[in-house]
Structure 1
Amino acid sequence: MSIATAFDIAIVGTDPRRDAATVRSWLADPHSAFWGMGRLSEEDVCDYLTAVVVDQRQDSWLGLVDGHPAFLAETYDPAHVVLTGIHDAREGDVGMHILIAPPAGHPRHGLTDAVFAAVMRWCFSTLGAERVVVEPDVRNARIAAKNARAGFRVLREVDVPEGDGVKRAALSVCTRDDFAASALGGLA
């Protein structure tokens, strides 16, 4: 699906073998520290992406900007993945993670806003979400600001199992109306 913006943005299914090296390079960048996956090998990333893709309750998506890989989006059923027993999921809730590639060369003004807006629109229009649910690390001020610009409301702080530990997260939701009224919802 393409979204009309100053950028040509498309979202396609992830192919773990094809995309593992690219995603691994993004995860290894310091900008991606909150993903906690910076030390994974290409094979580890391929295995991780494969596990997500084959699970019927979650999926992984590669985002292209102007025809080039630029972001990874993951979607999941928060009643059964990541937030099981933590979030009182409603029918139509879609969990979402986003990883935008670190800047290469000259930064492109407005790119992260355009990508975030495209992923949100895609969750609502293509995946049929009624609410998008996120659980970013409470220390991640950048994503907190981006989430607020997209219309997310923090419900509460929660502890989310992650790898061998626990992440303190800001459980947040965004309805279609919240997004439409937000700064990013107005991007076309």
Structure 2
Amino acid sequence: MSFTFRPVDPVADAPLLHSWVSRPYARFWGMLSASVDDVVEEYSRIASSGHHQAFLGLDGGEPAFLMEQYQPGESPLADVYEVQPGDTGMHLLVAPPSGEPQPGFTTAVMQSVMTHLFEDPQTERVVVEPDARNHKIHVLNERVGFRPERVVTLPAVESMETHKEALLSFCTRADFLATLTPVLASATDPAGESR
């Protein structure tokens, strides 16, 4: 597994992203009934926002996941917690496997995403707000150092719902590094000394 990131091209990547977000496993992404045009519109909006970015994660050059990074102070989160300097919001959607699932793949993706976010020295803490019913992502989040804060009410992401009950969780740089092996942690920590 060798992950790299590139910005989403809202038009060129829309068919691929649509094939991911419209599947039942991605129901918490809120785009099950979206068309390809809806995906183009959503990611064009994100690209032009100035405070929200979408990245395609590649594994050996092949699309493997979608990661969104955003400024919590410019999002609905600003109404439910006191945003701190250095907070960065994140959403993650791993692509459906094209063959046999690889054990540990999703954890490796999440570690790569967190490493990418913490490469920015301004990032002190990563904030997530997954649907409170999405137990699989809660387990994954805790595996990389997230600490659940509380359930908060946010605007709905799916048109069939009136609101979203989300588990607000935080991960500091130190909490993330504590989940890694010593070798991985020293390679990831920009403040760490190398030999």
Same fold (TM over 0.5): yes
Q: Greater strand percent: which structure?
A: 1
> Which of 151, 155, 161 in structure 1 is aligned with 2:149?
155
Matched, 1:116 2:110: yes
In structure 1, runs of 5+ residues without a counterpart are 1-6
Matched positions, count: 182
TM-score (norm 2): 0.88
Q: Partners of 2:37 and 2:141 in 1: how far apart?
A: 31
What corresponds to 2:127 in structure 1?
133
- Letter in structure 2 aligned against 1:83: L
In structure 2, runs of 5+ residues without a counterpart are 188-195
What corresponds to 1:3 in structure 2?
none
What corresponds to 2:37 in structure 1?
43
Task: Give the match's secondary structure for 1:79.
Answer: helix
What corresponds to 1:181 in structure 2?
178
Identity within the alignment, %: 41
> Which of 1, 8, 12 in structure 2 is aligned with 1:14?
8
Over aligned residue pairs, what C-alpha RMSD do you find?
1.7
Q: Partners of 1:170 and 1:177 in 2: how far apart?
A: 21
Comparing 171-180 with 34-43, which one deviates more in the overlay?
Answer: 34-43
Shift of 1:128: 3.4
CA gap of 1:137–1:184, structure 2 versus 1, over 3 A, is farther
Matched, 1:166 2:160: no
* Conserved? CA contact 1:13–1:62, under 8 Å: yes
Q: Partners of 1:184 and 1:152 in 2: how far apart?
A: 17
Q: Post-superposition, which runs of at least 4 consecutive aligned residues in structure 1 deviate over 2 A?
A: 162-165, 183-188
* Conserved? CA contact 1:79–1:87, under 8 Å: no
Larger Rg: 2
Comparing 11-20 with 76-85, which one deviates more in the overlay?
Answer: 76-85
What corresponds to 1:4 in structure 2?
none
Matched, 1:85 2:79: yes
